[in-house]
Chain A
Amino acid sequence: QKEVEQNSGPLSVPEGAIASLNCTYSDRGSQSFFWYRQYSGKSPELIMFIYSNGDKEDGRFTAQLNKASQYVSLLIRDSQPSDSATYLCAVRYGGGSEKLVFGKGTKLTVNP
């Protein structure tokens, strides 16, 4: 069974700090990795995606992928109160499948 694990949190950081969100996955055949942000009562919105080992930066967000360790992370620099949300890690396992498997999400609170 393909699984995606996240620390449910809550993770609380002060404004301006770096928030670090982690995710592990079970299947080595995984090909694509996504971070979605979900505000309460809303649907998820794509923040970052990463396919290759290493780091990928987009503004204040950096996704890190280590396929050998089956680990993907999201760093949020200069955290803002508006970043307070639940962050969902999603994995596309490949093999021709377009399905995503989601983790349970980590709730992040950025305190002013």
Chain B
Amino acid sequence: GAVVSQHPSWVICKSGTSVKIECRSLDFQATTMFWYRQFPKQSLMLMATSNEGSKATYEQGVEKDKFLINHASLTLSTLTVTSAHPEDSSFYICSARDTSGGRQWQFFGPGTRLTVL
């Protein structure tokens, strides 16, 4: 149980275009999902906390107008990178917390590798 999927697994786009990444919890409901970004040889950096039915909470330094997050249901959160530029190329990973049974840890999706040309 506790499977998180992401789509697409990789995407290549031209500079200036927008890219949408989906994160789904497949066998549990997640009121909260998290979006991370990881640059090569760096650790995971939390970008934002996605809350079902309300606005996302962004970490300091993350542009909310550039990284649009929508958490429309208990199993789906989307991250849209608007007007992507080469410096946005990174590995984007979502996670969801399965609180059933008192569990407190986050399960990660497989990640989406974004390359902006």
Contact indicator per residue, chain A 88-112, by CB within 8 Å of chain B (1) or not (0) = 1000100000111111110000000
Given contacts A98-B49, A100-B46, A102-B44, contact A44 B108 (CB under 8 A): yes
Say whether A104 contacts B93, CB under 8 Å: no
- Contact (Cβ within 8 A) A34 B105: yes
- Judging by beta carbons under 8 Å apart, are B43 and A105 in contact? yes
How many A-B pairs fall under 8 Å by CB? 43
Chain A binding surface, main DSSP class:
strand
A44→B4 CA distance, assembly (Å): 12
Interface size class of B (residues with CB under 8 A): 10 to 19
Q: A42-B110, A43-B110, A43-B111 are in contact. Are A103 and B105 (CB under 8 A)?
A: no
- Cβ of A49 within 8 Å of any chain B Cβ, yes or no, is yes
Do B106 and A88 have beta carbons less than 8 Å apart?
no
Cβ contact within 8 Å between A46 and B49: no
- A92 to B97 Cα, complex, angstroms: 12
Chain A, range 32-73, C-beta contacts under 8 Å to B: 32, 34, 36, 41-46, 49
Which residues from A are CB-within-8-Å of B106?
Answer: 46, 98, 100
Q: Is there an interface contact between A92 and B43, defined as CB atoms closer than 8 Å?
A: no
What is the CA–CA distance of A92 and B46 in the complex, to the nearest angstrom? Answer: 13
Quick one: which of B34, B49, B105 has the most chain A CB within 10 A?
A: B105
Q: Is the CB of B43 within 8 A of A103?
A: yes
Shortest beta-carbon contacts, A-B, top 10: A43-B111, A104-B43, A43-B108, A102-B44, A102-B43, A43-B93, A44-B108, A43-B110, A49-B105, A105-B43
Interface residues of chain A, those whose CB is within 8 Å of chain B, are 32, 34, 36, 41-46, 49, 88, 92, 98-105
B residues near A (Cβ < 8 Å) are 32, 34, 42-46, 49, 93, 97, 104-111, 113
